[in-house]
A and B are shown apart, each in its own frame.
Chain A
Amino acid sequence: MSARRSHRGAVGARGGLDSPAGVGLALLGVVVLLLARRRRRRGADPERRRRASRRSRPAPLMPLMPRTPRVRRPGPLALAAAAPGRAAVIALGAAALGYGAWLVLTDLPIDLIAWLAVWLAGAIVVHDGLIAPIAQLAGVAIDRTGRGLRMPRSARLLVAGGLAVGGAWTLVAAPEIVAKARGAANPTVLAGDYAAALAWAWIAIAVAVVVGAVVLTSRARSRAAPRS
């Protein structure tokens, strides 16, 4: 009675490395690995290394940034020996991951598996290629405009924060507005006016941001130039 059975694919699909796309990806991975090895060997030349490091030195405060590895990290086997708890969790995680992948491969027909891969890739592309760059540029633009308007840092951050909250809520409400426009199965599904709700949310954010920015800016100005 589970719906799973009805979706059993006609082909005993394994997908993955069997397919030409999989082979292509594996080849790409090999090429990238060779490239990386080559760079490191070239870096052995001290003159070259000095020149290279001057060109691509990471900026000061970036504890997150991965550096070109001069230090050999312990390989996975050494890690497993030193920290069996962590290794066990990784193994369990891999098992869960494998179970999920197995469910996909056995419950979906091959064309839907391909579509799922497309949607998964799409999730990464939409975030890393669209949302994040736009957010980054918006942040820079607000910072520059704010500096031009002589707004203190706190006010610039408030504006950026307000925009971020509004943007996030818009991402959540926009599909709701579209779904309602497409027509609901009955009037109790998607019962509210979501375009209006989103508009009100933006108004509330705008009011809070404007009031806050004005207060912060005037306070900073009076602190900077105290006249009796």
Chain B
Amino acid sequence: MTGERDARLSRRAFLTTVGVGTIGLGLLTAGQTVDALAPLALFAPRRVGAGPQGLPVNRTAEAAAVRDLALAPDWSLEVVHQGVPSRFGLDDLRALELVEARLPIACVEGWSTEATWRGVRVRDLLALVGAPARSACRIASLEPNGPYAVTSMGAEYAADPGTLVAIELGGEPLDLDHGYPARLIAPARPGVLQTKWLRTIEVVS
């Protein structure tokens, strides 16, 4: 009966439309996460490879009001253990053992890009100040205010050899918008917790 055939055609057409609309939209946006789909990602809010040093920026130094503090020549990273601060200037950090790690910046907004970072292992810094590698830490940024100016980092990250105080990105010193002079970079963490413009690492456990 043509009624049956027409009904089946309508149903198939509907489901095909839904499939094309859904999968098509996925293809048009997923390229900001999956590199292979990047050329298709016409609707993606971020472009792979856009930005200084090939990495998109979320919060600029200007927006975070840290320009002067970050560019100050007397900047030093403060590592505090049992109330005792130890200061490491940029040259001090460079003199330590630097390792390379390939880690992504993955934003809560869904985009992500991998990059090559170079810096000091957090667990090495902790060892230098006499703290155990598996220590929970409080991380503070030079940012004066903002929801992520001060964050917590679990002990499992501090102990991981991939967690770095990074001072170089892609072979060059960090761009100001990427956290110059030093930023925290850890595996499997959201971008907002990869603290830029580091000020203090305080051992809390």
Contacts and interface: CB of A to CB of B under 8 A. Distances in A.
A130 interface: no
B58 to A, nearest CB: 7
Given A161-B17, A200-B42, A154 B25 contact: no
B43 A157 contact: no
B169 to A, nearest CB: 15
Contacts of B199: none
Contact of B25 (A157, A172, A191, A194): A172
A114 B169 CA distance: 46
B21 A169 contact: yes
Contacts of B13: 154, 157-158, 160-161
Contacts of B60: 185-186
B133 to A, nearest CB: 24
A164 to B, nearest CB: 5
A61 interface: yes
Contact of A168 (B25, B57, B63): B25
Interface string B34-56: 00000000111111001100001
Interface string A167-201: 01100110010000000011111111010011011
Given A186-B177, A192-B44, A165 B57 contact: no
**Size range of the chain B interface in the assembly:** 20 to 34
A176 to B, nearest CB: 7
Contacts of B28: 169, 197, 201
Contacts, number: 80
B147 interface: yes
Interface string B141-155: 000000100111000
A86 interface: no
B42 A201 contact: yes
B25 A169 contact: yes
Contacts of B150: 1
Which one of A61, A157, A176, A197 has the highest number of Cβ atoms from chain B below 10 Å of its Cβ? Answer: A157
Interface in A134-181: 153-154, 157-158, 160-161, 164-165, 168-169, 172-173, 176
B17 A165 contact: yes
A64 interface: no
B25 A186 contact: no
A191 B50 contact: yes
Nearest 9 Cβ contacts at the A-B interface: A161-B17, A197-B42, A157-B13, A188-B56, A188-B51, A191-B47, A165-B21, A191-B50, A168-B21
Interface of B: 6-7, 9-10, 13-14, 16-17, 20-21, 24-25, 28, 42-47, 50-51, 56-60, 63, 147, 150-152, 177
